[in-house]
Amino acid sequence: MAVVQATTKDINLLARLLRAEAEGEGQLGELLVGNVGINRVRADCSDFVGIRTIPQMIFQPHAFEAVLYGYFYQRARALEKRLSRKVVNGFRHWPAKYSLWYFRPQGDCPQQWYGQPLVGRFKLHCFYEPTSETCANIYRL
């Protein structure tokens, strides 16, 4: 059962985002990026108040470098469409299970990203969860 509503067009948009943001991180890396995106749609807190759809999440200003710099504009492939459906249907995995942010630094992961604590790293991406004070409902999803 889907945890957010998604049309075929939404699945294709999310698939393009997964490919653009994490293609080199393998399928699990792409799923983790998808977790963060779906968490943003569901969280209704912090920078994501009022974000209710996949297109709103993807095209939120300055949210994803891939959208800003053009990597996002590759076609959606079958693999990423399958992974997109999986996260839309509720797949969640640490370190992105409750994360609302990820970052790909040149070196070590900063212990905080915009005031949010580091929860883990997967390959090149560092993942950050909100505190219960800034977004308690993320832990109820």
DSSP state of 25: G
pLDDT, mean of residues 16-40: 97
The pLDDT value given to residue 136: 86
Q: What is the mean pLDDT of the chain?
A: 94
Cβ contact 102:32 at 8 Å: yes
State the pTM of this model.
0.95
What confidence tens digit (pLDDT) does each residue in 85-136 have? 999 999 999 999 999 999 999 999 999 998 899 999 999 999 999 988 889 8
The pLDDT value given to residue 134: 87
| Fold held by 8-140 | Arc Repressor Mutant, subunit A (1.10.10)
Q: Is the pLDDT of residue 11 over 80?
A: yes
Residues 6+ apart with CB under 8 A from 69: none
